[in-house]
Chain A
Amino acid sequence: MKKRFAPLWKRAVAYIIDIFVVSFLVVTPFSGFLDADVESFADLFTLNFSSEVIFIGVVIAILTLLYWSFLEWRFQQTVGKILLRIRVKGNITLWQAITRNVTKLSTLVLILDVLYMFYTKKHQRYFEKLSRTEVINEPKKRRGLF
């Protein structure tokens, strides 16, 4: 069976879907607490964030990473990938799953990571190359969710 690397547009759409899922599952329960009066970048350097805000930020980061890492480790697919019929190739270890997803905790780092994809034939992000993982289209014989 011929392998086919997942096209960029599918990966982008899958990522957007996953963002919505994560926002609903992980961020929404904390939304009532996150209301910092940040109007400009300068505020970020002058505001005194309480320890609770910092704690919540860390918790959200951990749960977000848990979403991506656990699902790709156990099922090779997140919700977005299931819907777009793409998957992480092969059975990967938990450490590989964490490594390939850690850049999703920071938008800036993720952007830099994604830029690397345009220079590789396999459409791999830099951290995907580090973790030796790839994203491919779901094989035809395994199509269907059940």
Chain B
Amino acid sequence: MSKVFKVLLFLAFLWGLSYFIANFALGVDVSGSIGAGDKVAVIPVNGMITLNGGGSLFMSATSGEEIVNNIEQAESDSSIKGIVLEINSPGGTVMGSKRVADKIGSVEKPVVAVITESGTSGAYWIASQADYIIADELSIVGSIGVLGSYLEFSGLLDDYNVSYQRLVSGQHKDISSPYKEMSDEEEALIQERLDTIHSFFIAEVANGRNMTFEEVSDLSTGLFYLGLEAKELGLIDELGDSDYAIAYAKEVSGITNGGVSEYNEEDTLFDKLKGYMAYSSFYIGQGIGSVLVSSDSGWEIRV
């Protein structure tokens, strides 16, 4: 056996030994980190929230499932004593937001939500399930409502002598199709479902914030509030920033010299390009974007 081969064999052994000790002998979750003693986890909630992330060419989305995975990792890491959700999001889909909110409600460790720039709609739903909410005095908070609006092109098609050939099996199969005018009956059916989601949303916030359904309902016109107003209305607990939220989380978790474990999102180059395009075309392209990437009806309910 040549010397080089023997050296390589030894190097492989050394690596294997290190790997074994790191991952099995220590018995510690490799996705976490052992810092200086106990720590709090900081989990970001950024951008529009969908269940599986992805978004579209024009808009980046963050994955509710990924956020839940991060929370579960923080839960199972014995060195993590508290969780800080750092929120900067306008909301997202119903299921994406609900998935995260349900998970937070089940976490036993202290959870502190800090709203940085924006925590509205589904993002506020998520925040409302935390033990404590902190926001800046000028953060955008609230917007407790449900959005199902979309662009309808039936008039435009008529102008260009393009007709919508309706072939369905099931009377309401093409409900909310952007290529035809919505009937009063269809509008009523959709509105009924939006109202159901809205009531659910209100009940969840009321439960999370220890308020009555009626108190939250009065605030649930879809209007957003500044942090200052939100505190007066009971939608948040305290004014502050991320650093304060981390310090508070350490205090309630009983950590003195604890560190911070950040669960950062990893962006690919495509994600960065999407993000840039999203900021520059969001308000114009929202309706068009939903047509391109959503279901056949080109319609999505958002909170």
Task: List A residues at the B interface (Cβ < 8 Å).
Answer: 21, 24-26, 28-30, 32-38, 43, 46-50, 52-53, 55-56, 59, 63, 66-67, 70-71, 74-75, 77, 79, 82, 145-146
Contacts and interface: CB of A to CB of B under 8 A. Distances in A.
Interface stretch (B24-32, B61-69, B87-95, B286-294): B24-32
A46 B258 CA distance: 11
A71 B7 contact: yes
Contact of A52 (B3, B18, B30, B34): B34
Given A34-B34, A145-B4, A52 B28 contact: yes
Contacts of B32: 32-33
Nearest to A53: B34
Contacts of B23: 29
Contacts of B17: 63
Interface string B181-218: 00000000000000000000000000000000000000
Question: Chain B, interface size: which category?
Answer: 20 to 34
Contact of B4 (A36, A63, A146): A146
Contacts of B259: 35-37, 47
A26 B31 contact: no
Interface of B: 2-4, 6-7, 10-11, 14-15, 17-19, 21-23, 26, 28, 30-38, 79, 256-257, 259-261
Contacts of A35: 33-35, 259, 261
A25 B15 contact: yes
Nearest to A44: B36
B14 A66 contact: yes
Contacts of A50: 34, 36-38, 79
B255 to A, nearest CB: 10
Nearest to B23: A29
28 contacts: A28-B18, A29-B18, A30-B22, A32-B22, A33-B22, A33-B26, A35-B33, A35-B34, A35-B259, A37-B35, A37-B36, A37-B259, A47-B257, A50-B38, A55-B26, A56-B22, A56-B26, A56-B34, A63-B17, A63-B18, A70-B10, A71-B7, A71-B10, A79-B7, A79-B11, A82-B7, A146-B3, A146-B4
